[in-house]
Amino acid sequence: MLTRKQYELLTFIHQRVRETGVPPSFDEMKDALDLKSKSGIHRLITALEERGFVRRLPHRARALEVLRLPENSGQAAAHQARQRTTGFQPSVIDAQGRREARAPAPRAAELPSGQTVVPMVGRIAAGTPIEALQQPLDQVSVPPGLLGGSGREHFALEVVGDSMINAGILEGDTVLVERCETAQNGDIVVALVDNQEATLKRIRRRADSIALEAANPAYETRIFPADRVAVQGRLVGLMRRY
């Protein structure tokens, strides 16, 4: 699952390599995506690299290799069908970057067995931010003890990336999130950056800025002005398959 800009850049690189055998320059990528600076291209490439879509080849200029394309390419109709399902409706960003209003999420449904059903709304990056939360894709059954409290709204996300491994969060884990708009310093949250990208990080407030901290020394702490980050939910539980 990629952001619109990440997908556009990956497609542009892939097409250029197929046509010419040479990846585009950073200036060409900047112009193709209508970005104002090359720093945005660096950020997008880092995101694609950390998610395994591209690889930078060392000691070579303009050396980018496309390793794979999104699995759901060309499946827009199926995605739209999923959007008509009921369940948790987190913030969704349209093609123009506008936040679409969604109906309030229903509370998790209680099952006779004592399990609780919560909506699985997609994948979340424990690494570089990926696409903002989407519509419910499935449901997962959860022991009530893993949730933050009865009567509260929850959703589930599959973890992509390894930036939270020292907090015990591994790629492929399912994280359980209580929907909220505020969090305490040190909480692990789903944070929406610039109204379009979501990431799982530990939050720290520093005066007029917000730091999103990884739990892996290989990743740097990302610091944003407070108005660029919105809390979408707080981590309350985790499930793992062996």
Q: Which amino acid, 109?
A: A
Q: Of 47, 43, 33, which Cα lies nearest the Cα of 5?
A: 33
Sign for the pseudo-dihedral over CA of 26, 31, 35, 36: positive
Strands (E), the chain: 54-56, 64-66, 92-93, 99-100, 109-110, 116-125, 130-131, 138-142, 154-160, 174-179, 188-193, 197-206, 209-213, 222-225, 229-239
Q: 37, 38, 91, 163: which one is catalytic?
A: 163
For residue 223, what are the β-bridge partners? Answer: 211
Query: Does the annotation mark 163 as catalytic?
Result: yes
Query: Does the annotation mark 30 as catalytic?
Result: no
Q: 36, 150, 201, 209: which one is catalytic?
A: 201
List residues with catalytic annotation: 163, 201
